[in-house]
Structure 1
């Protein structure tokens, strides 16, 4: 594959999309990464707008340790965050991508689109035009939600998936969703992973000191976009129950999103400002320190594909407390690695957190279990798919 060029159509060039791409760089002559981008979000770089912060160009691209043969391009599309606008993104995104291809004389032998819409649609149209193989990764909402919203969405996603030569998806739960559609393309389940040179066990006290966290408190950590599907309100409700039994707890929530002000009001109205802190967005390189400073990681999502933070948590040897949604129960199958509960139930979540706080966890056992989910192992399997398609 060393003489071939790869084209990536992505939502971002950060963490779970960037990490495997970087590991595959030495197998290609050149990799071009196209990142979908809404210029309207740039206003969040100058005015505090939590709903747009994660979408501005600064937070969509991470050039840290980028291999020299990877070139990253922004593909701008103006749109408002409404469902009707989202449906129309396919052709808008395609035009933006084709313009960048033409202006930069980009050549490619293989296309890989992350998310079925609109990146997958762009990949499907480019495959038709250039007659090169296409791989699509169906990550989460783009496969468990979009095709089941209405018949129009179903037809769009079916067209995209049937245009691909190979589909990757991150969980059996996602595969079950694909199997409900009229799709004949071969599918392989490859879970998300973690960078073991970034996420590994560190001294907890040193990490607490570095972050100025109370040394004697039990630290509960959550990392994720502040959106409804991540279930933060249930974590806050659960903390309200937990502090009735113990006061030595501090819950840290890392992330930005449109619910920031709503969640802060919930914290304040319940008198939990001493026990829950919204600390905003943090650089990806800083997240390992936060994970290593915590005693347990909690992700109360209402739905998921296969959350990358789960693997990062396990890679640091920390227990994962989550919900029985998406691919999560496919990974957390033993109480040695974490505890699961029903989504949308704050009382049951509080019980699991209390149990986890009292339990003596074996960090080494958790790290050993996480080994198979290193990104380098996942990237090897992606490479095998690429090789198969390029040889045919």
Structure 2
């Protein structure tokens, strides 16, 4: 698949973490017709690499159940070390629960611990026969070394943005309607009726780009909504620090990383009551939420947000519990609990 996408990945080292990209046959049709074959091919590539490098490790930690967790469950049987699976998805997870997907359930049964990023989903594991004793809630997080408050005027100058305009920022891919861009664009047509000095910037690329540009034109919003394409992730902190409000009107979510990055920059989050978002935006000190697919309510919250005097220091202080260093401590506790349980059993 990477060959068809003309994407190249290179192994690298980050601090004490070694990252390897393995080559193996992967055809999109495998997901629909031969998932067992897909998992077996990936497993063979990984176990061959482990043996070749004579790698030794104490835990297997898979992010996402499919395919990583399924493959990791095979590895656990051979290598006999504890397995942790972090499940990040929203729609995929719910589909697996509804269908009692055998590959997901088997991987969860074999695992020693499961981390779910959304606390509200934990009880659902019981519906497929998984003991809730092995489920832990650890949210997603953000890199506090990159996402922190910066001078707005300096950031706007660097990015060529107007100094006196109220800027509403959205960062999300344009591949699926699930991110709610149409509702944001429609909401902005309401916002500018009351706040002409408003500008909505949408960062992201995908197949919906042309459709959204057409919608902006049809609503006569070209002066108020700019689709600026994708940006390097290293630039995103400047964009967030340039905005007055960050808006993510998703129809469905797990635990969006960009929400934590927004809070890390001390910016208020305007979003929807989906997924794990209400578990993070717990008071109006940090942002405002409405039901999904409600352009009018979204517009009202954007206007309220633009008129509100937000406490950036308070938002930043709150976000510290979601920094990757804090999240790492919580994950370490999961590892320690597994060790404790194993010691009790021996």
Give how far 1:257 is off: 2.5
**Does the CA-based 8 Å contact 2:39-2:71 persist in structure 1?**
yes
1:296 to 245, 249, 253: 245
Structure-1 residue corresponding to 2:281 = 332
Give how far 1:385 is off: 2.1
Q: Does 1:39 align with 2:39?
A: no
2:102 to 131, 155, 175: 155
* Cα distance change on mapping 1:86 and 1:380 into 2, 3 Å: farther
Gaps of 5+ in 2: none
Separation in 1 of the partners of 2:30 and 2:224?
A: 35
TM-score by length of 2: 0.90
Pairing of 1:96-115 with structure 2 (within 5 A): 96-115=45-64
2:172 to 211, 221, 224: 224
Separation in 2 of the partners of 1:99 and 1:341?
A: 50
**RMSD across aligned positions (CA):** 2.3
1:169 to 107, 111, 116: 116
1:363 to 289, 312, 333: 312
Separation in 2 of the partners of 1:297 and 1:85?
A: 40
TM-score by length of 1: 0.80
Structure-2 residue corresponding to 1:271 = 220
Separation in 2 of the partners of 1:74 and 1:366?
A: 40
Structure-2 residue corresponding to 1:51 = none
The 10-residue stretch of structure 1 (328-337 or 83-92) with the greater mean CA deviation from structure 2: 83-92
Separation in 2 of the partners of 1:130 and 1:239?
A: 55
Structure-2 residue corresponding to 1:315 = 264
Give how far 1:134 is off: 0.3
Q: Does 1:181 align with 2:128?
A: yes
**Does the CA-based 8 Å contact 1:143-1:174 persist in structure 2?**
no
Give how far 1:278 is off: 1.8
**Does the CA-based 8 Å contact 2:90-2:275 persist in structure 1?**
no
3-state SS of 2:170 partner: strand
Give how far 1:373 is off: 1.4
Gaps of 5+ in 1: 1-37, 44-55
Separation in 1 of the partners of 2:24 and 2:222?
A: 39
Pairing of 1:1-392 with structure 2 (within 5 A): 38-43=1-6, 56-57=7-8, 66-80=14-28, 84=32, 87=35, 89-141=38-90, 144-148=93-97, 150-151=99-100, 154-184=101-131, 186-226=134-174, 227-390=176-339, 392=342
Structure-2 residue corresponding to 1:22 = none
Separation in 1 of the partners of 2:95 and 2:271?
A: 23
Is the radius of gyration larger for structure 1 or structure 2?
A: 2
Deviations 1:105-132 (A, max 9, x none): 4333310000111111011111112111
The 10-residue stretch of structure 1 (69-78 or 329-338) with the greater mean CA deviation from structure 2: 69-78
**Does the CA-based 8 Å contact 1:193-1:308 persist in structure 2?**
yes
The 10-residue stretch of structure 1 (178-187 or 213-222) with the greater mean CA deviation from structure 2: 178-187
**Does the CA-based 8 Å contact 1:174-1:305 persist in structure 2?**
no
